Amino acid sequence: MITFADFERVDIRVGRVVRAEPFPEARKPAYKLTIDFGPGIGIKRSSAQLTTLYRLEDLEGRSVLAVVNFPPRQIGPFMSEVLTLGVPDEQGHVVLIGPDREVPLGGKLF
């Protein structure tokens, strides 16, 4: 089990996808996302396995939640700076997590 203090160390913020691109070099089908987290965190990039349920054009402008305090991770030729959050549906396809209303970019989950 983790403590509440452990959970508080995970920095989960809201960002807006400003660009979504194909990622053909990924081992598993994925997109490259560029996400704006507002002035405090700025623009970060993420690799996300969303190709089954989302089209590129549906992602741009969408608000998402992401862990912003993990170290960057090399995914093939791409450096993923944040972990975009989602949960699997019944078939195991990733469904994005995001606020259902407009909130300020960079807002922290608590």
> Environment class of residue 102 by beta-carbon count within 10 Å: exposed (0-12), middle (13-18) or buried (19+)?
exposed
Assess if residue 101 is contained within a domain. no
How far lies 60's CA from each of 1, 5, 32, 54, 84, in Å?
A: 37, 34, 11, 11, 14
CATH value at residue 79: 2.40.50.140
The answer to whether residue 106 sits within a structural domain is no
What string of pLDDT tens digits covers the 110 residues of the chain? 999 999 999 999 999 999 999 999 999 999 999 999 999 999 999 999 999 999 999 999 999 999 999 999 999 999 999 999 999 999 999 999 999 999 999 999 98
Q: For residue 11, is it within any domain?
A: yes
85 within a domain of the structure (yes/no): yes
Query: Is 110 inside a domain boundary?
Result: no
Name the domain count of the chain.
Answer: 1
Query: Rounded to two decimals, what is the model's pTM?
Result: 0.94
Which residue segment(s) compose the domain that 57 sits in?
Answer: 4-96
Residue 103 lies in a domain: no
Amino acid of residue 102: E
